[in-house]
Amino acid sequence: MTSIDSVIIEADDTEAAAHFYASAFGLGPQVRVQPAEEASAGFRGFTLSLITSQPADVDALFEAAVAEGATAIKPAAKSLWGYGGVVQAPDGTIWQIASSSKKNKEPASKKVDDIVLLLGVADMAESKKFYVGQGVPVAKSFGSKYVEFEAGAGAVKLALYKRRNLAKVAGVAPEGSGSHRIAVGGDAGAFTDPDGFTWEARVPSA
């Protein structure tokens, strides 16, 4: 089964970006940073999500992100599906921080249960077919609205959403141009998907 080992975020200031992800979110090798080579403006067509087990953990991560220089796009709040908020990291990446639970069961922590890469796509059927062809099994599918793929233990989860709808969920305008400023590191080899998102071959362990 194809899996995502890491997402590679492109940033103008790689040292500052790496510091942010380590300090605010405590992320390890699942999120890497490399120098940006192309310009980017507006919505980059994707979001990353940190999934936690309770609202208190969402608050802890959200507050830590803002303290490290992130911009609050949507303050953390209850919703029909749970509890969550949206921040934009100093490098421009949009992060959703969420929990399906509406109640706290233990002291707050910054523990992240899952990392999800949500790609905004133009044609759901085409993109779904493409990824299935790359060996990524579908876990959940809701017609042309949402597709979630299976992920191995410890892997970054991949999901597809219509671009305009994803921008709405993130709280930003859907327009954007230039580089996505992200690459995907996995075991499927190197390729570019129908929406211009690039995958890189798995980096061998040192």
Q: How far is CA 97 from the centre of its chain?
A: 10
Residue 135: per-residue pLDDT: 87
| Contact call for residues 181 and 9 (beta carbons, < 8 A) | yes
The pTM of the full predicted model, rounded to 2 decimals, is 0.94
Residue 28: per-residue pLDDT: 85
Residue 202: per-residue pLDDT: 66
**Nearest Cα to 60, choosing from 6, 129, 107?**
107
CA distances from 25 to 31, 117, 127 (A): 10, 15, 30
Q: Which neighbouring-strand residues pair with 98?
A: 51, 84
What is the rounded distance in angstroms from the CA atom of residue 81 to the CA atom of residue 145?
16
Query: DSSP letters of 135-156?
Result: T--EEEEETTTEEEE---TTPB
Reduced to 3 states, what is the DSSP secondary structure of residue 47? Answer: strand
Per-residue pLDDT of the chain (206 residues; tens, 9 = 90+): 677 889 999 999 999 999 999 999 999 889 999 999 999 999 999 999 999 999 999 999 999 999 999 999 999 999 988 999 999 999 999 999 999 999 999 999 999 999 999 999 999 999 999 999 988 889 999 988 899 999 876 689 999 999 999 999 999 999 999 999 999 998 888 999 999 999 997 654 44
Residue 205: per-residue pLDDT: 45
Q: Are strands 83-88 and 198-201 parallel, antiparallel or unpaired?
A: unpaired
